[in-house]
Amino acid sequence: MIQPHQAFHVLLLCIITASLSQPAQSQPPQFQASQWIGYTQDDRPEQWSRRGVTFNRPPADISSWKPTAKELRSTPRKSFPSPRLRKTFDITKQVQSAEAMISGVGLYELYLNGEKVGDEVLAPAQTSYDERVFYNTFDVTAQIKSGKNAVGVMLGNGFYGQNIAFAPNLSYGAPRALVTIRSTYNDGSQSTVHSDETWRASTGPILFDNVYLGETFDAREVTPGWSTANFDAADWSSAQIMDAPTDRLERQGIEPMRKVRRVTPVAVMPAEEGWIIDMGENMTGWLQIAVQETAGTIVTMRFAEHLMPDGKNIDTASTGIHATGGEQMDVYICRGDGKETWEPRFTYHGFRYVQVTGVTSKPDVDQWAGWWVRTDVDRIGSFECSDELINTFYEVSIRTIEGNLQGLLSDCPHRERCAWMGDIHAVGEAASYNFDLRKFWPKVSADIETMLGKGGGNERAGLPNDPRAPCNIAVGKRDCGQARPDWGAATVLVPWYGYLHYGDVEMVKEAWPMMQGWLAYLDDFAVKDGIINDGFGDWCPPGSNTKKDTPSALTSTALYYQSLVAMQQMATAIGKTAESKQYAQQAAVIKEAFNKTFYKVTDVPVSSELNDASIKITKALYGAPSKQMDISRLIQDIVDSGKRRFNINNPLVGKDPAPGLKKTLTLEYEVNGKPQKQTVPERSDVYFLRKSVAGYGSQTGSAVALFSGLVPDGEQQAVVDGLADMIMKKSGGHYTTGIFGHRPLYTLLNDYGHGDVTRHLWRITDWPSLGFMTEKHDLTTWPEVPFDWQAGRRYLRNSFNHPMHSGFAAAFHESIGGIRPDPENPGFKTILLRPTFLPDLQWAKASLRSPQGLIVSDWKRDNETLTWEVTIPDGCDGNVDLSGGNFSQVTVNGKPVAPNTFELNSGQWTVELKNDVVDLVKDPSTDSPQN
């Protein structure tokens, strides 16, 4: 069975195009009479409808940069117009119900009789628009009125019309919409409004919109009442019939994007030009402004995560300018008729600071506000403990994940905004512990499916283009090539998360052909002698990818093994017995090859690093097999004299126990309590050894092997011991892991008795460490801790909001709280409870609102007693494992239990843990819980 710690769970500028992954489907019947419409006539002022993009890469010390003319060259690119569409219609009878169905790509806002329909923003969720497009349905009964009505649609480019950042050919085309409004009358009859050429169209106040670069809005162009029935649209044009993006139109199943939280600025500071607003946190969303300026005043807002060293300007480097070619910038042109409040519609930003120019007075923090914008999934997890630094690690990690829930799990909310596959599975379980992703993961899995066969092959590894292989990016035109084996593992692991955390068998069934195809592709083309020799590898370790100390073959092969074992378990769950057996057999082959290739055990002489070791001789036989003498006392005396190396020979022993025969010393002993064996030929040196280095060559190598279940049976403790040594001795008490090694690091250390190492890593604040990442108010996790850093030197050329390094945050629930799903009874129907009571941590509280109900794990220390409060939902049971704590007394609701592993059924339980021995009684699962 896969244990919980084994449950599996770039900056590249590349553009690849491709083909359909599924046969075309017909439009849903409610849209059969509707046509896609838009408006491409462009009467926007030239100066506002385009922005310049500049691609360069300054050095770390930007003050020494002397850019060339080429590096500063700006290329103007023009966005597609953002049109408004409208239609009037009559309601002639009393309405019983009415619903509006709309798809608008890239983004839309729907209005009915002058009022916005719904509270969604940035709708619909992003898809690969040539493969499938989402529509949304709204109950508009309350907004329909008798007589004349009007419907209006505003369209933005979103990712569909994105033709500015990176390269202009990433666009699918100009914005367009498909609309049906159906009214059902009390007499049972119906009337329907369809989008067609009878609609009227015009450009509006949005002069520029790009999801990466921002929005320009001219309030002087606002036409009040444009979506009401009485508005005169005589000077508007007829809407244009547009080609359908795809025939595959699906109702959006994932939660919509919403404004989920208002953020009040913590400070407004004078800048070299204008003002700098500090939101107090690195966030994803936008700024809402409140101004009172003369007509035509241009208010500019530029967004960034950091300030320049002088504190008088923002530094936009980390938020994308050197990747996308442009800054995140919103522009508002004032109407001039009093107080004006505005926020953008069709863009979003990743930022903490906003530099504002054009206003004549200091922005009022009571009037200006930031809005968090994300997919509106429920927050289901919580964690806190007695150490505020650890609390900060948790909060920072979850905030980073939250800011990247943008209809997909993006790599960052500003620079690339892409669903990189490796990032997704690096952080997938930490996200699942904290957000309700039961609808989210099926959407991501279906996104991956739409990218099958689009990558054009993997020339680097000599892998051909294949319809079974997805792309490195899970959705969209910027696919960055055919998935490398480690990134493509998300093809299997995303459905696995849905199964493991939510018990979603239907998702497994829907993804099964895709998952089977991906593994068959790897088996056909990538696996050589059981090893996969291609991949991005353990991305973004401290210092840069040039510092990676783990071969990509190790991580790719481990992820292939994880996928095979996950497939074996999912096959069993959906009744595919033969396939389950097949994947188990394949996994066994891979495991053998993996350990043959990567596993190393090195016996190190005690004299080299344990001069003060305690050595106890348990057996020492010298001679030939037929004639041996026991010299245990002699060898113990030699050791006790301080010798750690000596030559075994007849003179030392005092006699020849087997004259004329070849002799050996058979030695058994303990070093610091750890048993060892060795056989030494006569006249050879004897070293006292211990298995001090058992592992896979690096911190990541050992962590990934353990996490994947690849370590040979019985060797797990030795490998974790070696991992702890690598951290504390070889690496000076620091981690060296990238995204794959960091994910399980702390859980593994805790599970195998090295909580002191975790505690150390969670205390330090020098580089590299989580403490260093957070001490300078960086309130989201970095991607690479980061590229091209010298120790202790900040380098702001890259993103500081990358959730791929938040994967370790799963440890707060699965290890400190000890709450883990059981792969054999998924969706937390059975809860595996294995908490770690970290040294010097006085208390910790973890909770998870699972599909079955609320799970709680709270513990605290009080002198010699540790009290652990556990809540298990109705209909569930818990398997408790406290063996790592070496507790001699364990009581549940006041009754002793034995051993340190036992079961609990649903209810509330108080577990007390002590170190003094008491009599032991029956398992508490047979008792009733406390009230």
The contacts of residue 512 (CB under 8 Å, 6+ apart) are: 570, 574, 576
**In a shared domain, residues 430 and 484:** yes
Q: How confident is the model at residue 883 (pLDDT cuts 50, 70, 90)?
A: confident
**In a shared domain, residues 609 and 628:** yes
> In the chain, how many domains are there?
4
Whether 291 contacts 332, CB under 8 Å: yes
**In a shared domain, residues 235 and 121:** yes
Per-residue HEC secondary structure of 500-560 comes to HHHCCHHHHHHHHHHHHHHHHHHHHHCEECCEECCCCCCCCCCCCHHHCCCCHHHHHHHHH
**What CATH number is associated with residue 263?**
2.60.120.260
d(CA 130, CA 31): 18
- Does 772 or 385 have the greater pLDDT score? 385
pLDDT digits (tens, 9 = 90+) for 470-498: 999 999 999 999 999 999 999 999 999 99
DSSP bridge pairs for 283: 351
pLDDT higher than threshold 90 for residue 788: no
Can you give the pTM of this predicted structure?
0.88
Print the domain residue range for 96: 32-44+77-203+223-247
**In a shared domain, residues 647 and 612:** yes
Q: What is the pLDDT of residue 922?
A: 41
Q: Is residue 431 in a domain?
A: yes
**What CATH number is associated with residue 541?**
1.50.10.10
Q: What is the pLDDT of residue 411?
A: 94
**In a shared domain, residues 572 and 617:** no
**In a shared domain, residues 525 and 578:** yes
φ and ψ at 652, to 5 degrees?
-65, -40
For residue 30, which of 184, 209, 261, 214 has the smallest C-alpha distance? 184
For residue 489, which of 704, 634, 287 has the smallest C-alpha distance? 704
Q: Where are the beta strands (DSSP E) in 37-94?
A: 37-38, 50-53, 75-78, 83-91
Q: What is the pLDDT of residue 320?
A: 75
Q: Where are the beta strands (DSSP E) in 161-205?
A: 176-185, 190-194, 200-203
**In a shared domain, residues 514 and 631:** no
Question: Rg for the chain (alpha carbons), in Å?
Answer: 32
pLDDT digits (tens, 9 = 90+) for 165-212: 998 899 999 999 999 999 999 999 999 999 999 999 999 999 999 999
For tokens 């340190």, what's the residue?
Answer: 900
Q: Is residue 237 in a domain?
A: yes
**Of the given ranges (163-167, 457-461, 545-549, 777-781), which has the lowest mean pLDDT?**
777-781
**In a shared domain, residues 446 and 589:** yes
Q: What is the pLDDT of residue 677?
A: 85
Q: What is the mean pLDDT of the chain?
A: 90
> What is the DSSP code string of 108-123?
EEEEETTEE-SS-BSB
**Of the given ranges (551-565, 699-713, 774-788), which has the lowest mean pLDDT?**
774-788
Q: How far is CA 803 from the centre of its chain?
A: 5
By CB atoms closer than 10 A (0-12, 13-18, 19+), residue 612 is: exposed
Positive or negative: CA dihedral 828, 833, 834, 840: positive
Q: How confident is the model at residue 645 (pLDDT cuts 50, 70, 90)?
A: confident
Please report how the helices 505-525 and 552-573 are oriented relative to each other, as an axis angle in degrees rounded to 10.
140
Boundary (domain end) residue, out of 654, 678, 693: 693
Q: Is residue 615 in a domain?
A: yes
**In a shared domain, residues 495 and 617:** no
d(CA 227, CA 198): 15
**In a shared domain, residues 400 and 523:** yes
Q: Is residue 183 in a domain?
A: yes
**In a shared domain, residues 454 and 367:** no
d(CA 800, CA 52): 25
Q: Is residue 751 in a domain?
A: no
Q: What is the pLDDT of residue 608?
A: 44
**In a shared domain, residues 112 and 243:** yes
Boundary (domain end) residue, out of 550, 577, 595: 595
d(CA 542, CA 538): 11
- Which two structure tokens, joined as six digits, stand for 591? 């495991």
Q: What is the pLDDT of residue 629?
A: 94
**473-494 as b/e, with b when 16 or more CB fall inside 10 Å?**
bbbbbbbbbbbbbbbbbbbbbb
Across residues 660-680, what is the average pLDDT? 88
